[in-house]
Chain A
Amino acid sequence: MPPHDPTLTACLQPTGPLRPTFCNVPEWAQVTLYVAGLLAIGIFAYGIYRHWRVWMAGQPGAPARNTGRWGERAGLVARYVLGQSKTLERRYAGLFHTGILWGFILLFIGTALATIDWDVFRLFFATRLLGGPFYLGYEAVLDTAGLVFTVGLLLAIWRRYVTAPHHVLGAWDFVIWSLVVVNVTGFVVEGLRLAIAPVAWGGYSWVGQGLANLVFAFGGAEFIQGPARSLHLWLWLLHAAAAPRRRWCSSRRSRSPTRCTWSRCRPTPSSRTSSPSEPGPRSSRSTSRTPSSSACRGSAS
């Protein structure tokens, strides 16, 4: 490794385990990350604000069961949000849902810790949070969380697009794919980093180290110090850029609700032959459902 390359000094951990921040990432890309990050926070806050406005435009007053009893309601949050006991009532869906949720929660905490490590501990206290045994545990937990997350996403994709029962059809959603991209690029970036700048404790990043071993097996030193570094940087950028987004409504060009996500999947008026006033035979009903579901899938573009 050429020691004079400043972008690679960030990969070095000469004093023992220490999170290599911005390894192989030049300054322009770092600046891009911070600018894009602030922009993303702004968009996120605006999205929350829009939902807030949706709720608050309502009439005042809430049922008594939704007020007071803070302890009991906190328990319900623990049970249904953290414990996912409602989604787990359906085993397959509940399992991948819980995997995705907890993978996401742990990776969010991990990313937040990385920011605190680099932009708070390093800048303000001239020390580091993610070093030593704590950092090694951090790596092991996050690799596991990422794998659980990815497997959960693949199970979800299988159900949504392959087994595809009628009731899960709805909007074509970019979110699930962008989460796959984030996870997969995250692992590949980690693997390439461990190939470019190997460390003795790489095994704690066990998924990433596995990928690094593949790079060692199939690529020579020339590949590792050349194309692998470019690939690492571009995937790092993609990893950041693929952060999920969701459309507010499938189209805002038209005010008509039929342009929106779910309503698009309604049977067209001509196929709605089975209203109760003029009951259609059973076959017409089943045909009225099939085209609507294929229309949903067709709306993917």
Chain B
Amino acid sequence: MSRLGELTWKQRLGVDSCVRCGRCETVCPAYMSGSPLNPKQIIAGLSDQLRLEVDRPLAIDGGDVVVGDGLLVTPDALWGCTTCMACVQACPAFIEIVDDIVDMRRYLTLSEGAPPGTSAATFKNMERAGNPWGYSPDDRFAWGADLDLPFAERGQHYEVLYWVGCSAAYDKRNQRIARSVVRLLREAGVRFAVMREESCTCESARRLGEEYLYQTAAQANVENLGAYTFDRVVAHCPHCFNTIRNEYPQFGGSYPVVHHSQLIDELVTSGRLHPAGGAGPRVAFHDSCYLGRYNGEFEAPRATLRAAGVDVVELPRSRAEGLCCGGGGGKMWFEAKVDKDVNVIRMEEALAARPDVVGVACPFCLTMLDSAAKSLGVDDVKVMDVSEVLVQAIDGPVSPAV
């Protein structure tokens, strides 16, 4: 979307409803970090523009182009968004600000051919190698070479298909999440499999406006998933989880999808997992936007931590008001200079709670907060996925991939 004539009546109704209360501005992580994005400015600016254009025959010219350098909405502002949904959650007029921003990003990426920073290279990697880094697809399951991973076979029935996602497949640190999940699935005796054809969902690409790449990937993934028989998909990555759960039905792939914390919570409740209990570490839990605000799941990761005997510490901004790690909306894949990075703001907030561990339920959050810890020079507080905390309660520290 680059002209207001391209908005649907619903989007126009939303933009026109802006009362300029500024709640979006107070919760926006990009604005906090000093990026040029101010959601209030975008929506209020569009709203003024709508009223200026209403007496013109929009059907002919579609209105002025409003997206571009020096125009009403600048690319720098649009690329600041982490799509964390905090603004939409805060908006008393229920304006779908994130959808509007992604709509305008699509214009920049697809029509103008101007994706941000180095993300064009990331798109190429996703397209060629099926992961954002461009590693070999053959190495996708190298993290489990010593685990004798069960690969899904046609005609077999599985309780759970474990969708690993690129981050835990290739990122050395995050591979330990996948190893923890496998450990827990085995401990509980769940009949599961991983899918050899698994490839990036390209969710980041979609949030960065690369709709074509996303749709191609979605079709391929849905086709591959359709070859196997399973009751549910489990994903530990909220971005994969959200995509498969809420977006794949449009491509004909409807499956029950659960986040690993939901499955673990269920396994503990039904008695299939027996954590030893005892005193765990003090864990400050950081909510993932795509699990929490997007999908309304706030309890399961906390329950997972409690199952590990953990004393869960709530951060000042948590649950529906949780602050983003700064890694959503494709922000993992390019750098933009700001006053203070979101992950550092969030990590400082978490450290103020004096935890032993900062608990997360998303590999992007883990990477972002881990790197914030490094830049703050903190080494006595670890950032861990909730599944790792639970495995540690059962076995001691999770061994890295060989």
For the complex, what is the distance from the CA of A53 to the CA of B56, rounded to whole Å?
11
Q: CB of B229 within 8 A of chain A?
A: no
A277 at interface by CB-CB < 8 Å: yes
CA distance A282 to B79 in the complex (A): 20
CA–CA, A231 and B309, complex, Å: 74
Given A54-B51, A90-B23, answer yes or no on A263-B72 (Cβ-Cβ < 8 Å): yes
Q: In the complex, which residues of chain A have a beta carbon less than 8 angstroms from the beta carbon of B52?
A: 249, 252, 255, 257, 260
B residues at A contact (CB < 8 Å): 5-13, 16, 20-23, 25-26, 34-36, 40-41, 44-45, 47-52, 54, 58-59, 72, 74, 76, 79-80, 90, 92, 94, 336-340
On chain A, the residues within 8 Å of B45 by CB distance are: 257, 260, 262-263, 266
CB distance from B77 to the nearest CB of A (A): 9
Q: How far is the CA of A282 from the CA of B52 in the complex (A)?
A: 35
Determine how close the nearest CB of chain B comes to the CB of A202; give it in whole angstroms.
39
Q: A57-B5, A275-B76 are in contact. Are A66 and B48 (CB under 8 A)?
A: no
A262 near B48: Cβ-Cβ < 8 Å: yes
CA separation between A170 and B13, bound complex, in Å?
Answer: 20
Q: Which of B21, B41, B72, B92 has the most CB of A within 10 A?
A: B92
Known contacts A59-B9, A66-B10; is-contact A54 B50 (Cβ 8 Å): yes
Q: List 22 A-B contacts (CB under 8 A).
A: A54-B50, A54-B51, A57-B9, A59-B7, A63-B10, A80-B94, A87-B92, A166-B25, A167-B25, A252-B52, A260-B51, A262-B41, A263-B45, A263-B72, A266-B45, A275-B36, A275-B74, A275-B76, A277-B76, A277-B337, A282-B339, A282-B340
A86 at interface, CB cutoff 8 A:
yes
Chain B CB within 8 A of A14 CB? no
Given contacts A57-B5, A170-B22, A277-B337, 12 further A-B pairs with CB under 8 A are A54-B12, A55-B16, A58-B10, A86-B92, A171-B20, A249-B52, A257-B45, A257-B48, A262-B45, A275-B76, A279-B337, A282-B339
Contact of A168 (CB < 8 Å), options: B16, B21, B337: B21
Question: Is A60 among interface residues, defined by CB-CB distance under 8 A?
Answer: yes
What residues of chain A lie closer than 8 Å to B90, measured between beta carbons?
Answer: 89
CA of A56 to CA of B10, assembled, Å = 9
Tell me whether A167 and B23 are in contact (CB under 8 A).
yes
Instruction: Tell me, rounded to whole Å, the shortest Cβ–Cβ distance linking A277 to chain B.
Output: 7
Alpha-carbon gap, A52 to B235, bound state (A): 44
Q: Report yes or no: B12 in contact with A266, Cβ–Cβ below 8 A.
A: no
- Whether B338 contacts A276 by the Cβ 8 Å rule is yes
A274 pairs with B36, CB closer than 8 A: yes
Least Cβ–Cβ distance between B203 and chain A, in angstroms: 19
A58–B48 alpha-carbon span in the complex (Å): 15
Closest CB in chain B relative to A186 CB, distance in Å:
25
Decide if B16 touches A54 in the complex (CB within 8 Å). Answer: yes
Q: Tell whether, in the assembled complex, residue A59 and residue B338 are in contact, meaning their CB atoms are under 8 Å apart.
A: no
Q: Which residues of B contact A86 (CB under 8 A)?
A: 92, 94
| B8 interface neighbour in A51, A59, A80, Cβ under 8 Å | A59
User: Which residues of chain A (279-294) have a CB below 8 Å from chain B?
Assistant: 279, 282, 285
Would A55 and B13 be within 8 Å (CB), given that A86-B92, A255-B52 are in contact?
yes
A75 located at the interface, meaning its Cβ lies under 8 Å from any Cβ of chain B in the complex: no
* A19-57 contact mask (Cβ, 8 Å, vs B): 1 or 0: 000000000000000000000000000000011011111
Q: Once the chains bind, are B20 and A57 in contact (CB under 8 Å)?
A: no
Residue A266 contacts which of B11, B23, B26, B41 (CB distance < 8 angstroms)? Answer: B41
| Interface of B: prevailing SS | helix
A86 to B51, CA, bound (A): 26
**Chain A positions within 8 Å of B41 at CB level:** 262-263, 266
Residues in A neighbouring B22, C-beta threshold 8 A: 165-170
In the complex, the chain A residue whose C-beta lies closest to that of B27 is A167
Contacts of B76 in A (CB 8 A): 275-277
Given contacts A55-B12, A66-B10, A257-B72, contact A285 B34 (CB under 8 A): yes
- In whole angstroms, what is the CA distance A37 to B9 when docked? 32
Which residues of B have CB within 8 Å of A167?
21-23, 25-26, 40
Task: Give min CB distance, B27 to chain A, whole Å.
Answer: 10
Is A3 close to B, CB under 8 A?
Answer: no
B10 adjacent to A170 (CB under 8 Å): no
Given the complex of chains A and B, what is the CA–CA distance between A171 and B47 in angstroms?
13
Query: Contacts A274-B36, A276-B35; is A58 near B9 (CB within 8 Å)?
Result: yes
A223 CB within 8 Å of chain B: no
Verify A170–B58 contact, CB threshold 8 A. no
Within 8 A of B (CB), among A64-117: 66, 80, 86-87, 89-90, 93
Residues of A within 8 A of B47 (CB): 262
B74 proximity list for chain A (CB < 8 A): 275
A62 within 8 A of B: yes
Chain B residue numbers with a CB within 8 Å of A168 are 21-22
CB-defined contacts of B50 to chain A, threshold 8 Å: 54
Give the distance to chain B from A172, nearest Cβ to Cβ, in Å.
Answer: 11
> A170-B20, A257-B52 are contacts. A59–B6 as well, Cβ < 8 Å?
yes
Interface presence of A9 (CB below 8 A): no
CB distance from B115 to the nearest CB of A (A): 14
- Within A164-200, the residues touching B (CB, 8 Å) are 165-171
Which of A80, A93, A248 is close to B51, meaning CB atoms less than 8 Å apart?
Answer: A248
Counting CB contacts under 8 A, is A220 at the interface?
no
Given A257-B48, A285-B34, does the pair A262, B20 have CB atoms closer than 8 Å? yes
Is A144 located at the chain interface by the 8 A CB criterion? Answer: no
Report yes or no: A257 in contact with B25, Cβ–Cβ below 8 A: no
Q: Is A61 an interface residue (CB 8 A)?
A: yes
| Contact residues in A for B339 (Cβ distance below 8 Å) | 274, 282, 285
What is the distance, in angstroms, from B204's C-beta to the closest C-beta of chain A? Answer: 18
- Is there contact, CB below 8 Å, between B54 and A57? yes
Within the complex, what minimum Cβ distance (angstroms) separates B61 from chain A?
12
Is A261 part of the contact surface with B, judged by Cβ < 8 Å? yes
* Inter-subunit contact B49/A57 (CB<8 Å): no
Neighbouring A residues of B58 by C-beta, 8 Å: 57
Contact call B9/A60, Cβ cutoff below 8 A: yes
With A and B bound together, what is the CA distance between A37 and B2 in angstroms? 42
A-B pairs with lowest CB-CB distance, top 3: A167-B22, A260-B48, A262-B44
| Beta-carbon nearest neighbor of A58 in chain B | B9
